[in-house]
A and B are shown apart, each in its own frame.
Chain A
Amino acid sequence: METTTPTRATTGEFKPGAGFGTLFKLLRRVRSWAGNAFLAAYAVATLYPLIWLFISSFKSNQDFFGKPFALPSTWQFENYAKAWKVAGIGTALGNSVIVTFLSLALTLLAGTLAAYILSRLSFRLKGLVMALFVLGMLIPIHSTLVPLFIMMKKIGILDTYAALILPYTAFELPVAIFVVAAYLTSVPKEVEEAAMIDGNGYWGIFFRVIFPLSVPAMATVAILAFLRFWNDFAFALVFINKQALKTLPLSLAVFSDGFGTDYSLTMAAMSIAVIPTVVIYLVFQEQIMKGMVAGAVKG
């Protein structure tokens, strides 16, 4: 933060002799340089697992076990083709995309609407409703497997996309609501009042004003929700029967037979699965950052 205000440094409260001035500037430069170096090192270290994943995906099983951290002795590009075929990644990818994006849309829409109401409007049962949503965040999802299964069977939506989309959305709603609500509390009341004066009803306020304003929060929720839906295994395992509808995490599991795992193919399949998540993250984080650049912070 200090680096961006060189002018401040020389015109700030400290006004010792010129010599000290340059010394401080130098120290500040060194500090920021060291800080940046540390950040860079941390970034590389944190990225390592991703790199490791990609490198491992080109190894044979022998290589993987023998030298897990070294470069592959031979680069097995065919791992990818084989993994794609054996795990049926093509179909699974398509299904994951459909399920995840529909759930995402539903979550963002219903969630932001509810967040707006819960954070800025008051009504009688508000406390109760909020508490209810908190409850949902606390339950380990495995305990709802059997009840959900029985219920969805009764409704008749098992083995369809809805069997995943609806529970996914429902479970992500509390998080979505809380994140967006917290964000909305810092929006000044004047904004709503101005919109009302312009002759908007509540729906107008929501769609024309609140929704656009909440983009950074929604982008945050989008990233978190996307990851949850894309990587879910438990629900997809139990609620979907048809091979044609199976999602990506399920297709990744075929490489282990309970007693041993074919890691070379698993790593390749996982590398394929990881790419969309990286892309989505980059896309949505731009949305978050756009708000920043739009003149807000100039630390």
Chain B
Amino acid sequence: MMKKLTVVLSSVLALSTLLAACGEKQGGDNTSAGAAKSGAGSSKIKLSIWHNFSGDDLRAKAVRAQIEKFKQANPEIELDAQAIPPDGYRQRLKTVAAANEMPDVFFTQSGTSIKEYYEGGLLQPITPLLDKYPDWKNNFFQGAFDPLSFDNKVYATPLSASATSLFFYNKSLFDKYNVKVPKTWDELMAAVKTFKDNNITPISLGNKAAWLAQSSILSSLANRVTGTEWFLKAAKQDGAKFTDPEFVQALTYFKSLADAGAFQQGFNSLDNTQMEQYFVQGKAAMMIDGAWALTNMAASGTKEQLDQVEVTVLPAIPGGKGDPNTISGGAGGGLALSKNVTGKKLDAALELIYTVSGPEGMQAIAESNSLVNYNVKIDPAKVTPLFYKAYTLTQNVKFTPVYDAVLSSAGAEAINNGLQELLIGGKPEDIAKKLQDAQAKSIGK
């Protein structure tokens, strides 16, 4: 018995070494043959595209469908499309970037993310594409290209809009307790008190992941107090600092919500899905969350529950420098183009980008219950009612920057952790200082 086992094991060992060697050789042969082929400029063009739309949700399916369309329409192009789970996407992309092995076309978030690739000299602008289709270009919202452009050249077009601070509220709870939908901060605090007195959690919060409070609440709240201009200056450390009184005041406003007991117990250990659950089940009256909540709630709430949900903007702050009719958000991520793509491959890559991000793609994405920064006519029958409410809202407001899209990654980390600390009793001045130090250091000031 033992002998047999040994024989089996050793042959498996031999076999595996053989396989490994074979695999290596084959890999080697393929790449050299492939290189020779594309060098000669003949037969097949090889194109690679990486993205993180790998799930079963409607938007992912829409994006993959567009890529498939391109593949079908272009049989002479060998397309390697990788749908990588979002959990590992950044990690994988960064690893190949470090080894200088970027794919030809890849999806990247706007703001700091794409900026890092740009500063590493890995991208080229997609200007030729925009010039080729001017109607398409002009149909984007104003400012849609800003977080994806450098030096006045556009490097990607947004595949979807990000709207991170939607103010959701439960209409039936508001009606039941006769509470006015708050338009100012004082009205908000009054609403909080009323709900608390009646044992309903005023605002649902789940900040385990730390970016939620920053992206959804602080970005908008701080903007109402400080205005956009101040924020952009502070991020660049050029004429403003995060230790300035207006930012500290913004943090204090946020803290006062926590002090008033507006959030449910244990919010620091709940993630955003659990927070959305809590709200959609009618256990909380309000929730400040992003557009992703629309899909999440649709997946887990019943029709009756969803019908109670309404959406508006965050209340105004008295004396604030920011425009109250705004939502933090803006352009979401888009498809960027690697610098190493040239010649015929470049033409193919541009067309691929157009198939996914062009008018057809935009329509498909919008109808998958995702907001876009593009003028589309949405047929209400094709989308969920809640999405339609949100969509109408975003047509009438302006966008303000989301903190973690503008701050450096170190700065974003600092404010994320800082907010968690603030909510469990930290001091606004301390948090402000931490952010100031982290941001200044990371941009070399």
Contacts and interface: CB of A to CB of B under 8 A. Distances in A.
Interface of A: 61-62, 65-66, 86, 101-102, 105-106, 108-109, 145-146, 149-150, 153, 155-162, 165-166, 207, 211-212, 215, 233-234, 237-238, 241, 243, 250, 253-262, 265
Instruction: With a 10 A CB-CB cut-off, give which of B19, B28, B83 has the most chain A CB atoms.
Output: B19
Given A160-B24, A260-B273, A105 B85 contact: no
B267 interface: no
B73 interface: no
B91 A238 contact: yes
Contacts of B40: none
B302 interface: yes
A155 B24 contact: yes
A105 B12 contact: yes
A6 B17 CA distance: 56
Nearest to B295: A260
Given A146-B99, A165-B16, A257 B27 contact: no
Interface stretch (B53-61, B136-144, B176-184, B337-345): B53-61
A212 B2 CA distance: 6
Contacts of A237: 84, 88, 91-92
Given A61-B300, A146-B99, A256 B19 contact: no
B9 A108 contact: yes
Contacts of B80: 241
A102 B12 contact: yes
B339 to A, nearest CB: 19
Contacts of A86: 56
Nearest to A99: B16
A102 B277 CA distance: 44
B237 interface: no
B6 A62 contact: no
B381 interface: no
Contacts of B281: 66
B52 interface: yes
Interface of B: 2, 6, 9-10, 12-13, 15-16, 19-20, 23-24, 26-28, 31, 52, 54-57, 60, 80, 82-89, 91-92, 95-96, 98-99, 101, 272-274, 276-277, 281, 290, 292, 295-296, 299-302
Chain A to chain B: the 4 pairs with minimum beta-carbon distance, closest first: A258-B86, A160-B23, A259-B292, A162-B20
Contacts of B89: 258
A156 B56 contact: no
A2 B344 CA distance: 82
A260 B296 contact: yes
B85 A253 contact: yes
Given A61-B300, A105-B9, A108-B9, A256 B87 contact: yes
A260 B299 contact: yes
Contacts of B15: 102
B87 A258 contact: yes
B20 A256 contact: no
Given A61-B299, A62-B300, A260 B99 contact: no
A204 B98 CA distance: 48
A149 B23 contact: no
29 contacts: A105-B13, A109-B10, A146-B95, A146-B99, A149-B95, A156-B24, A156-B28, A157-B24, A158-B27, A159-B27, A160-B20, A160-B24, A161-B23, A162-B20, A165-B20, A207-B6, A211-B2, A215-B2, A233-B88, A237-B84, A237-B88, A238-B92, A254-B55, A257-B86, A258-B86, A260-B296, A262-B55, A262-B299, A265-B56
Given A238-B91, A238-B95, A255 B55 contact: yes
A241 to B, nearest CB: 7
A256 B55 contact: yes
Given A105-B16, A260-B295, A260-B296, A160 B27 contact: yes
Given A109-B13, A161-B19, A260-B273, A62 B56 contact: no
A262 B56 contact: yes
A297 B232 CA distance: 74
B52 to A, nearest CB: 7
Contacts of B10: 109
Given A102-B12, A243-B82, A256-B85, 15 more contacts: A102-B15, A102-B19, A155-B24, A157-B24, A160-B23, A160-B24, A160-B26, A162-B24, A238-B95, A250-B88, A257-B52, A260-B272, A260-B276, A260-B292, A261-B273
Nearest to B301: A62
Given A238-B95, A250-B85, A260-B299, A106 B16 contact: yes
A298 to B, nearest CB: 24
B24 A257 contact: no
Contacts of B299: 61, 260, 262
A254 B85 contact: yes
A162 B22 CA distance: 10
Contacts of B98: 146, 149-150
B20 A257 contact: no
Instruction: With a 10 A CB-CB cut-off, give which of B6, B16, B95 has the most chain A CB atoms.
Output: B16
A254 B56 contact: yes
A237 B82 CA distance: 12
A235 to B, nearest CB: 11
Contacts of B56: 86, 254-255, 262, 265
A211 B6 contact: yes
B13 A106 contact: yes
A257 B57 contact: yes
Nearest to A153: B99
Nearest to A151: B99
A250 B89 CA distance: 11
Instruction: With a 10 A CB-CB cut-off, give which of B19, B85, B290 has the most chain A CB atoms.
Output: B85
B19 A162 contact: yes
Contacts of A165: 16, 20
Nearest to A241: B82
B380 to A, nearest CB: 24
